């Protein structure tokens, strides 16, 4: 009974161990998907900000082109030129910053995508290994059941006769079912005595 209970507890522990491993992989997968969604949202947000900055830059250039430069004095033109250059530099700096951040986020996203692919390959390998292990165990159980049924059939066919394995059969055996020849069967005590001359 102790042996059987030990086997049963080890089987349960192995089963729970597999469940915990599956749960751990599933949690990793969910976390990776959440990270990917966040990176994708941030990527789209940065792309929208870049588009807005480009539109602002074009609008500023259009406004400069619309006003008639003859209406301004020299001081106003210089002031406007300095202000426009400052605004242009700020917008270009902001655009470069957004492009740099977009590039950085794209690299992070590509790295996360690679990790996701690696994880999916590992997950597939783990599930495949688990499936193969389960198949092997079921085949082993089927073989054991088949052997038990064959042994039962053999024992029922032989009835109460003594089982003799092929290893125990010697050339001295007349009938394998009855076992080896007894040593006392060959000794005859009732032979006539030999007289000395």
Longest Cα–Cα distance of the chain, Å, equals: 168
Q: Environment class of residue 46 by beta-carbon count within 10 Å: exposed (0-12), middle (13-18) or buried (19+)?
A: buried
Residue 102 in contact with residue 47, Cβ under 8 Å?
A: yes
Q: What is the pLDDT of residues 131-144, one digit of tens each?
A: 888 898 889 999 88
Least confident of 20-24, 64-68, 168-172: 168-172
Q: What is the pLDDT of residues 144-181, one digit of tens each?
A: 888 888 888 877 776 545 444 555 545 555 666 666 66
Please name every residue paired with 175 in a beta bridge, in sequence order, or none if there are none: 179
Q: What is the pLDDT of residues 24-51, one digit of tens each?
A: 888 988 998 998 899 889 888 888 888 8
- Whole-number pLDDT of residue 1: 46
Distance CA 115, CA 102 (A): 20
CA distances to 68, 125, 137, 138 from 132, in Å: 81, 10, 9, 10
- Whole-number pLDDT of residue 5: 45
pLDDT at 98 exceeding the cut of 80: yes
Query: For the residues of 96-151, what is the DSSP string, one character each?
Result: HHHHHHHHHHHHHHHHHHHHHHHHHHHHHHHHHHHHHHHHHHHHHHHHHHHHHHHH
pLDDT at 196 exceeding the cut of 80: no
Residue 68 in contact with residue 106, Cβ under 8 Å?
A: no
- Whole-number pLDDT of residue 148: 86
Of the pLDDT bands very low, low, confident and very high (cuts 50, 70, 90), residue 70 is: low
Q: Which residue is associated with the tokens 């052997």?
A: 147
- Whole-number pLDDT of residue 183: 62
């Amino acid at each position: 009974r102790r042996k059987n209970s030990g086997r049963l507890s080890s089987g349960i522990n192995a089963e729970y161990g597999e469940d915990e491993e599956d749960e751990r992989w599933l949690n990793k997968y969910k976390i990776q998907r959440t990270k990917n969604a966040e990176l994708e949202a941030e990527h789209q947000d940065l792309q929208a900000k870049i588009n807005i900055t480009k539109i602002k830059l074009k609008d500023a250039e259009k406004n400069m082109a619309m006003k008639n430069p003859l209406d301004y004095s020299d001081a106003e033109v210089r002031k406007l030129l300095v202000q426009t250059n400052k605004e242009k530099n700020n917008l270009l700096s902001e655009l470069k910053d957004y492009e740099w951040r977009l590039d950085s986020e794209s690299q992070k996203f590509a790295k996360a995508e690679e990790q996701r692919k690696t994880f999916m390959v590992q997950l597939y390998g783990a599930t495949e290994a688990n499936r193969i292990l389960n198949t092997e165990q079921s085949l082993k159980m089927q073989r054991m059941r088949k052997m038990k049924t064959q042994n039962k059939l053999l024992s029922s066919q032989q009835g109460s006769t003594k089982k003799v394995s092929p290893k125990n059969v010697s050339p001295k055996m007349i009938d394998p079912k009855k076992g080896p020849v007894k040593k006392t069967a060959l000794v005859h005590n009732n032979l006539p005595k030999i007289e000395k001359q």
